[in-house]
Structure 1
């Protein structure tokens, strides 16, 4: 990789690592797609087409989260907990369980959006943007 983002790999593969910048950009793209879809479709059309759109967004979101978690040295399976927290607590937490899931979302925002990835290679591969040296 020569500093270029491989968009297909970022959105459709959960292996490897991704840096903070591409992660934040991919997250913004996924949120924008969801917001535009919600705004452009009515409830009836959304009921019919949502069975295709939402699983695609969910899959892509899990791939992006997994790659960023790998960059932080964490298991990609934590993406399942983060996505569950988003589903349960979004858009407005109302009870104790929602509050607990909101803490998970806060942790994920800090861990993945604010803290840099591990400097060297880890069990998930070399740092993003660097070629594998043989």
Structure 2
């Protein structure tokens, strides 16, 4: 898995659904368990890397820099599992922008600096 290249909307949406489901399942299973911290030291970095790869590839398809994935993940962090502060509301706006930009808008036609389009 790599953050290089491009992906279309459908594989992006499937990837996001899988990432959120895996995160929710891990946190549900780990509530109050002693192993949450040691396993979390492996799980969370792996989850963030997978999320960066999926987000960066879709951002590349839209002609954006993959570094925008950092802003999206920070916004997601402040809204997960629900926004409970003013910062959470700002994070919700970032997640809403990302949902529209990456989930509904089509990628750039033709090749861009990140490679050819991968229409699935």
Q: Same fold (TM over 0.5)?
A: yes
TM-score, length-normalised on structure 1? 0.82
Structure with max Cα Rg: 1
TM-score, length-normalised on structure 2? 0.91
RMSD after superposition: 1.5
Note the 1:8-87 alignment, pairs <5 A. 12-43=1-32, 44-87=34-77
Distance in 2, matches of 1:126 and 1:111, equals 19
Structure 2: which 5+ residue stretches go unaligned? Answer: none
- Aligned residue pairs total 119
> Residue 93 of structure 2 is aligned with which of 93, 103, 108?
103
| Deviation (angstroms), 1:103 | 0.6
Q: Which aligned segments of 4 or more residues in structure 1 are displaced greater than 6 angstroms?
A: none
Structure 1: which 5+ residue stretches go unaligned? Answer: 1-11
